[in-house]
Amino acid sequence: MRGPDVTELTIERLGQRGEGIAAGPIYVAFALPGDRIEAEINADRGALKQIISPSADRVPAICGYFGTCGGCAVQTLAAPAYETWKRNLVVEALRHHKIEVVVAPLANVHGAGRRRATFHAAMENGKARVGFMQARSHDIVEIDGCPLFAPELGGAVQAAREISQALAHRNKPLDLVVSTTINGLDVDVRGCGPLGDADIQKLTKLATSLNLARLANHGTNIVERLPPLVQMGLAQVALPPGAFLQATIAADHALAQAVVSAIGTSKKIADLFSGVGTFALRLAQKAQVHAVENDAAALRALQIASHTPGLRQVTTELRDLVARPLQPAELNGFDAVVFDPPRAGAEAQCRELAKSTVAKIIAVSCNIQTFTRDARILIDAGYSLETVTPYDQFLYSTHVEVIGVFSRKIVKAKRRLFG
């Protein structure tokens, strides 16, 4: 049986997944436009074997794990070319859906680095192997640190390793969600199942020695030594275990500022898929907000934080917006709607928004494909997409955050006077 062929290729462009693309097309991970390479070819895939002559835009990787760890796809591309490629991910997705709008320059919101990470652990002969998934594999790459982490996340790898080792006797693969908070690291362990008294006592002591704010097991507190607080505008939010947060503090601030600015003078706002209040708590400094979310713990945290002095009224509603989106009659009472759904998007909710009289809609998305699908629904219903701004908080990855601002002019019927 013939093995893969080895041949020379010239990389012509960079694909949506960060792979270099040569004529064919042939896709080669970690190759860059302008590279002349030697690759082992198997069908339409190439494995990079040697760089014969490098691209003019090739720079050294900042991390020794690059090329093995699956966290970064494009780390050796010089900044100007990288920013152009990432912005073009948004431009091309909009073009594919025939959406005409000027896309703003890419905003770098990496800031001081990542404030949360999910580590994976596998057990081998009683020893825990802890790190990130290998590129295009489910194998674990053990790491000692990551240059993309914020300084406050510096102790996260060691904490994840010690917690995993304490649970190695259970011989189960684990995910450990670690977030930075005002009072220290917050860790939620997933995958180990219910814990007995011996394990709980062992982990409680470990949380103290690691100086964790909290240690939880799949959403249930093992020990909370200090409240795991994060700042959101005027308010401090006590996070539920494993709660969703924007990946960097810089992104959290920039996205919230953009949403608040886009709202303008609106006085009554619906914040859909609100989470713990990333937008709602900032919007409440200038408007009345109705926050809708399907995660009861997140909504409860938001509700408590909303009592912060200086905020206007925030009402909350526990509701699955995928299965039961807000209807036009419910939406029409709002001056503006903000939505920030999971990666699957907000298709069902957008179909109802399309029938509404809401004058302004601000869409926040971490998935450009579902954003463009949802945008097409609103545009076809008469909304104008005024601006699209891409944000890069997942540096060197293929992920890009976007904010789109939609508006429509509502023509109100005038009463005719006779006489």
- Chain-centroid distance, C-alpha 126: 34
Q: What is the DSSP letter of 190?
A: E
Task: Give yes or no for a contact between 356 and 74, defined as CB atoms under 8 angstroms apart.
Answer: no
Active site residue 366: yes
DSSP 199-226: HHHHHHHHHHHTT-SEEEETTEEEEESS
Dihedral pair phi/psi, residue 56, rounded to 5° = -65, -20
**Residue in 204, 335, 320 with CA at minimum distance from that of residue 269:** 335
SS3 16: coil
Six-digit token string for 17: 């997944």
Return the axis-axis angle of helices 197-209 and 156-166, rounded to nearest 10°: 160
Q: What is the dihedral sign for C-alpha 103, 108, 114, 120?
A: positive
Rounded to 10 deg, the angle between the 368-380 and 79-96 helix axes is 40
18 close to 399: Cβ distance less than 8 angstroms: no
| Alpha carbons 302 and 298: distance in angstroms, whole number | 6
What are the strands of the beta sheet with 336-339, ordered from one edge?
107-108, 384-392, 401-407, 360-365, 336-339, 268-272, 288-293, 314-318
Max Cα-Cα span within the chain: 94
Give all strands of the β-sheet with 5-10 in edge-to-edge order.
Answer: 5-10, 36-42, 45-53, 26-29, 19-22, 13-14
Q: Taking CA 243 as the corner, what is the angle to CA 123 and CA 261, rounded to the nearest 5 degrees?
A: 140
- Could you tell me which residues are beta bridge partners of residue 105? none
| SS3 label, residue 276 | coil
Active-site residue identified among 72, 146, 350, 366: 366
Positions marked catalytic: 366
